[in-house]
Amino acid sequence: MTLSPKTLLTGSLVLASLTVLSGAAPLPHIGQIERHDPSLDQLIEPGTKIEVLADGFNWSEGPVWDSAHDRLLFSDVPENRIHAWSEAEGLSVFMEPSGYTGVFPHTRGKGSNGLTFDNDGQLVLCEHGDRRVSVLLEGGGKRTLTDNFDGKRFNSPNDLAIDSAGNIWFTDPPYGLPEGSNDPRRELDFAGVFLHRAATGKTELLTKELRWPNGIALSPDEKILYVAASDRDEPVVMAYPIKSDLSLGPGTVVFDMSIISAGPGRGGNPDGLKVDQQGNLWISGRGGIQVVSPEGRFLGSITVGPNTANCAFGGDDGSVLYITADMYLVRIQTKVKGTGF
């Protein structure tokens, strides 16, 4: 793929005109690593570069590593498309349409957003446009897993996580509705965090206390549910203890993004997040990824430049962090592995 000839300023760094990625040609670099705590060196080797893999997207989102095919899948939400990227084949279109199959015009975030694989290796999608959580079946075609709560259609399922028992935890803000939170087609008057139980096929509301629930992830032991709140007034990541019946205990703030709002690539509203095997949180937001310890200590930033939607661990052993940042797909080598590897 030919990368577009653009120049991006990231603080004092400049990403010059990009070139075609092919063969053993060196990858272009972007951004920088900002260390706030010395322990970040245990997670990212000093001197590690952020590599640009592809660009030209409208809004890249929802990355997930496809171990069965050694590739990354990720959404371009406004374009209603899922891309695949692999070391061997580069960039290709995996699915189009990805999240909206209706006949009426849809001018907002109509495609898929969050993606993950279930315990059978099937791709599970949060679909903005069709307002559902679906699964891609072997041989083609999708099956709706859940599209409503108490008979009312979801707003626009955004991000999801699947536990070891196959239960699906997902968020449902109104970002994907054509007119956002004021859309007349909206049926739920709240933005919820939901659980779709594998054993019963029923969907339950876990909490509606967050105005803009967004990214979601589970701790390595599956005892804590993390939810990012993309709320300008309270840009926080919440931690909810998971009870034995899978209901949630009272949530606490594990990280407040506003405390690091100064500086390029920092702060903003938290968006997507992932957790590594040590329990550290990798939280996307304005301009990059904020790395936070399980105790909520800010360790540092992977400053990419553009607003950054999400990230996912992948590669041969799960230690490469792939990042979707607006028009870019980038990656960085870490010293840890994501959960599930």
13 inside domain: no
Query: pLDDT tens across 151-195, in order?
Result: 999 999 999 999 999 999 999 999 999 999 999 999 999 999 999
319 inside domain: no
For residue 147, what are the domain limits? 54-284
301 inside domain: no
Q: What is the pLDDT of residue 9?
A: 32
Query: How far is it, in rounded angstroms, from Cα 279 to Cα 267?
Result: 21
Residue 254 pLDDT greater than 80, yes or no: yes
CA dihedral 70, 275, 285, 241 (to 10 degrees): 140
Residue 18 pLDDT greater than 70, yes or no: no
Average pLDDT, the chain: 91
Domain holding 177: CATH number? 2.120.10.30
- Complete edge-to-edge strand list for the sheet that includes strand 203-207: 160-162, 168-172, 192-196, 203-207
Q: What is the pLDDT of residue 143?
A: 97
181 inside domain: yes
92 inside domain: yes
Q: What is the pLDDT of residue 23?
A: 47
Residue 245 pLDDT greater than 70, yes or no: yes
Domains identified in the chain, total number: 1
Average pLDDT estimate for 308-337: 98
Percent of the chain residues topping a pLDDT of 90: 84
Query: pLDDT tens across 68-115, in order?
Result: 999 999 999 999 999 999 999 999 999 999 999 998 888 788 999 999
Query: pLDDT tens across 20-40, in order?
Result: 344 456 789 999 999 999 999
238 inside domain: yes
253 inside domain: yes
Q: Residue 341 to residues 277, 313, 316: CA-CA distances in angstroms?
A: 8, 9, 9
8 inside domain: no
Residue 8 pLDDT greater than 50, yes or no: no
Give 61's pLDDT tier (boundaries 50, 70, 90). very high
Query: How far is it, in rounded angstroms, from Cα 145 to Cα 339?
Result: 24
Query: How far is it, in rounded angstroms, from Cα 208 to Cα 336?
Result: 33
Q: What is the pLDDT of residue 160?
A: 98
